[in-house]
Amino acid sequence: MRTIRTVPEMRAWLGNLRAENRSVGLVPTMGAFHAGHHSLMRAAKDEQDAVVVSLFVNPTQFNDARDLENYPRSEANDAVEASELGVDVLFAPPTSEIYPDGFATTVSVGGLSEVLEGAERGPGHFAGVCTVVCKLLNIVSPDAAYFGQKDAQQVAVVKRMVRDLDIPSKIEVLPTVREPDGLAMSSRNVRLSPEERQDALQLSRALFAARDAVAGGERDAERVRAVALAHLDDPEYLAIVDPLSFTPLTTIAAPALIAVAARVGPVRLIDNLVLEPVPAPVAT
C-alpha cells in the first residue's frame, strides 16, 4: 500500500490507473478505523479494481473545538489495517493541502442540512461535510464512494449534493456495524469509560424497542417515539423521519428512519435504524 499526501501525486497515480481502464473505489474517513470502516474497505475491494481510502480529520465540520482536538487519531495503526485489507492507497493530506491559503468556497445543501444534526451542530457542519466530500470526489473521481448507514443524514446530504451537482460517482451505503451488544461502531467509542460504555447502550436499545413496536403493528409515529424515549435519559433529539427528506412523520406507512443523538459522558453519539412496517395480511 502507498500513502499519498498531495493532490498532484494522487492525480498522477490515478492517471496511470485510468490509462489501464481500471475502476476506483473511494472510502472517505476521518481515521481511527474500526470494523465499520473495514466493512466499507472490503466492499470497495470486492467491487472495484483499486481502492483509495482517504484519511482526513476535517476541521470545517466540527462545531466544537474540543471535539476536534479530542478526535481519535491513529494514522500508523490505520495504515497497517488498510494495508492488510488490500487497500491500494491511503490518501492522508495535511489540512493545508485541502484548504490552502485563500480557500474561500463552501458547498452546502439547503433544507436537508438544517434539521437534526444540522440544527444541533450548526449550519457549518454539513457545509463542511459537503465541501470536503466534494473535494475528495473531484480529486479521486471514483466510480463509487462508500459510506456507512450510521451517518444516515450525512449520506442523504451527500447523495443530494452528488445528484444536484451532477457528480458522476455512485454513492454506496453499507449497513451500520454494531458490537455484539448492539452499540453502533464509532471512532468516538474509545473515549468512553467502562461505565459510560454501558450507558451508551441506551441509544441502540431505544432504536430496537421502536423497531419491535413497529414489527408488532404500531404505526403511530408518536407512540413509537414514546416507546423509544422510555430507554433514553436525556437525548439531544429522537426523531422519526422520512429517510430521504428527513421530514417528520406522523404515520409509519412505509420504511421510516428513527434517528437519535445523545451525550454520554464527554462523548456525543448518534445512531439510527430503518423502521420497516410489515404489510397487513390480505383478507381472502
Distance, in Å, from the CA atom of 174 to the CA atom of 27, rounded to the nearest integer, reads 11
Distance, in Å, from the CA atom of 173 to the CA atom of 150, rounded to the nearest integer, reads 10
Distance, in Å, from the CA atom of 219 to the CA atom of 227, rounded to the nearest integer, reads 12
Question: For residue 212, how many other CB atoms are within 10 A of its CB?
Answer: 12
Residue 37 appears among annotated catalytic residues? yes
Quote the cell numbers at residue 192.
Answer: 468512553
Quote the cell numbers at residue 277.
Answer: 412496517
Question: Residue 10 annotated as binding?
Answer: no
Question: Residue 34 annotated as binding?
Answer: yes
- Vertex 198: Cα angle to 193 and 202 (nearest 5): 125
Question: Residue 187 annotated as binding?
Answer: yes
Question: Residue 32 annotated as binding?
Answer: yes
Cα torsion at 106, 160, 275, 224 (round to 10°)? 50
Question: Residue 211 annotated as binding?
Answer: no
Question: Residue 64 annotated as binding?
Answer: no
Question: Residue 246 annotated as binding?
Answer: no
Distance, in Å, from the CA atom of 27 to the CA atom of 133, rounded to the nearest integer, reads 10
Q: Which amino acid is at 247?
A: T
Choosing from 37, 38, 125, 231, the catalytic residue is: 37
Question: Residue 177 annotated as binding?
Answer: yes
Question: Residue 39 annotated as binding?
Answer: no
Question: Residue 36 annotated as binding?
Answer: yes
CB-facing half-sphere around the CA of 134: CA atoms within 13 A: 20
Question: Residue 30 annotated as binding?
Answer: yes
Q: Which residues fall in the annotated binding site for (R)-pantoate?
A: 61, 154
Q: Please identify every residue annotated as catalytic.
A: 37
Q: Which residues fall in the annotated binding site for ATP?
A: 30-37, 148-151, 177, 185-188
Q: Which residues fall in the annotated binding site for beta-alanine?
A: 61
Q: Which residues fall in the annotated binding site?
A: 30-37, 61, 148-151, 154, 177, 185-188
